[in-house]
Chain A
């Protein structure tokens, strides 16, 4: 099977501080944003609930940017994609 370059996820400091040992910069194998969230949750159990609500959807005041554009859970991720998880200013 072809090796896929991991995506590079950048997490905000006030999310990372909630999970002892969590990193700001996380390489992950993921083909969609949803898989990425699952991957983060596998590393740091409970992180999914901080990023997503039960709709399920990315929480209203969190933005996930993939290659510079706002993404949804279903958004596909190219190999090696840059992903930014950022808290929106609308949340305070």
Chain B
């Protein structure tokens, strides 16, 4: 038995899987998988190594693809991944999460939540979320009304957080039956002055849970970066020291709750690319009080690309690996917690998601 490290990459033209040994020095790239369907989020169940890829095809609708042999062969299903007749149909899967009890959750467009208890073969609608009283007033973000971010508490299977653009963060403590808003302290600068801290309606880009207890979360919002130390009930701004308040992804450290990785872009109305065309990943080691720009090995000239909501992840190795993929198709990785970087695959299709899997085989 030896440790193997996988990087799971969702792209607009299929899923890709990169494989390495524990050294993480050379990567074998395989793909595109899933018949080149747009795959918005590719994740793995850390216990079994099963890979799931959620996406949607313009012709054939939404589906979750599955591989039980590390990407070599795939099946797909969307049985039950549908709303009631007459409602706007489910268009695509945008987020996936595996729970310790083996269940699987999928966030979709138009925003809603589904659950599978049979490894993705069949799905049921977690209706409680759409029954929230704010539902009639949910407005879409720029790409649609999408459940982009889905976080499960590994220590409590009843706790779920979702981030919807642009309805905000919602949390459940009863396995999805009832939900509460979790947006206090986060801005919606697209609202009139004086109304830009609403109870809901924020454009949440990425929500991550810090290790060690289920109370600390970090959030990259359209309008700012935030930390919560009480399960999302109250958020504090942590954007001071960063080049902008706009970005898409966030990645927590596997062991240190005070560390976080972000990729701020130049601004939401300035092109949404790397500030000054110079690529940087920003890291905090003190829960957002101060930030370091990490650039070594990353393009510093003419980098007019961005990194999308789910397209950055860490692995659970020591030191932690950090990986991100761009909308220009470049996949970059660091095996020293961001100090130095390499390009792992330069010419993939537009990358929508990056996740990792470490498994003994």
* Chain A positions near chain B (C-beta within 8 angstroms): 14-15, 17-18, 46, 49-51, 53-56, 59, 61-62, 87-88, 91-92
Contact = CB atoms under 8 A, between A and B. Distances in A.
Given A49-B79, A51-B60, A55-B89, 5 more contacts: A14-B59, A54-B90, A91-B57, A91-B58, A92-B59
A18 B82 contact: no
A55 B86 contact: yes
B59 A62 contact: yes
A21 to B, nearest CB: 13
A61 B77 CA distance: 19
B61 interface: yes
Interface of B: 35, 57-61, 63, 76-79, 81-87, 89-90
Nearest to B86: A55
Nearest to B34: A18
A68 to B, nearest CB: 21
A54 B83 contact: yes
Given A54-B82, A54-B83, A54-B89, A59 B61 contact: yes
B83 A15 contact: no
A55 B90 CA distance: 10
22 contacts: A17-B35, A18-B60, A46-B76, A46-B78, A49-B79, A50-B61, A51-B60, A53-B61, A53-B82, A53-B89, A54-B83, A54-B84, A54-B87, A54-B89, A55-B85, A56-B85, A59-B60, A59-B61, A61-B58, A62-B60, A87-B59, A88-B59
Nearest to A53: B89
Nearest to B57: A91
B35 A14 contact: yes
B67 to A, nearest CB: 15
Contact of B58 (A17, A51, A53, A92): A92
B53 to A, nearest CB: 14
Contacts of A46: 76-79
A59 B57 CA distance: 11
Q: Specify which of A18, A49, A51 lies most central, judged by the most chain B CB atoms within 10 Å of its CB.
A: A49
Nearest to A49: B78
Nearest to A90: B58
Contacts of A17: 35
Contacts of B85: 54-56
A75 B45 CA distance: 44
A53 B59 CA distance: 11
B2 to A, nearest CB: 33
Contacts of A49: 61, 63, 78-79, 81-82
A51 B57 CA distance: 11
A2 to B, nearest CB: 34
B112 to A, nearest CB: 12
Contacts of B77: 46
B68 to A, nearest CB: 16
Contacts of B83: 54
Nearest to B36: A14
Closest 9 CB pairs of A and B: A54-B82, A53-B89, A91-B58, A50-B60, A91-B59, A87-B59, A61-B59, A49-B78, A54-B89
A56 B87 CA distance: 10
Nearest to A14: B35
A33 to B, nearest CB: 17
Contacts of B57: 91
Nearest to B38: A92
Contacts of A92: 58-59
Contacts of A55: 85-86, 89
A56 B85 CA distance: 6
B73 to A, nearest CB: 10
User: Which among A17, A46, A62, A92 has the greatest number of chain B C-beta atoms within 10 A?
Assistant: A46
Contacts of B81: 49
Nearest to B84: A54
